[in-house]
Amino acid sequence: MKILLTLSLLVTALTGVAQRDYDPRLLAKFSEERIRELQRDQPQIIDYWTYYLDESYSIVALTDGKILKSEKTLRIKDFENLNILELNVHQDRSQSKAYKIRGTGEYLVLMSNDAFTAKYNKSRGLKKPGKSGGE
């Protein structure tokens, strides 16, 4: 009886771990149910957005009193646990966007969709659509 109970608990624990096999920051964009669906049916979407979480932006500190034209000012409390999906910023198709970070001389620079997609594809060893090896 103890063995059956232990096996039951082990299966339950492993099921819980398997269901949580994704970056929890994705919950800012997708429900847990939708993440499970995507993991099963379109895992490349989860891969793309997981890469987006850390690779779609940079934090830039400007010196010499320089400023960047910025869309708006952001308040970022915890740079170590930054979730870009919670900031309500959106990529432009072809141009990077800068956002001033309140209380600092720094900017969050969000890559353009074109630049980010190229970076993502390169990291995955994918070629640009419409390009052949001989061009």
51-60: per-residue pLDDT in tens?
999 999 999 9
Supply the pTM of this predicted model.
0.75
Which residues lie below 8 Å from residue 124, measured CB to CB, with a gap of 6+? 47
Distances (CA, A) of 87 to 29, 78, 102, 113: 11, 12, 13, 17
Instruction: Copy the structure tokens of residue 67.
Output: 């400023």
Tell me the pLDDT tens digit for each residue of 67-110. 788 879 999 989 899 999 999 999 999 999 999 999 988 999 99
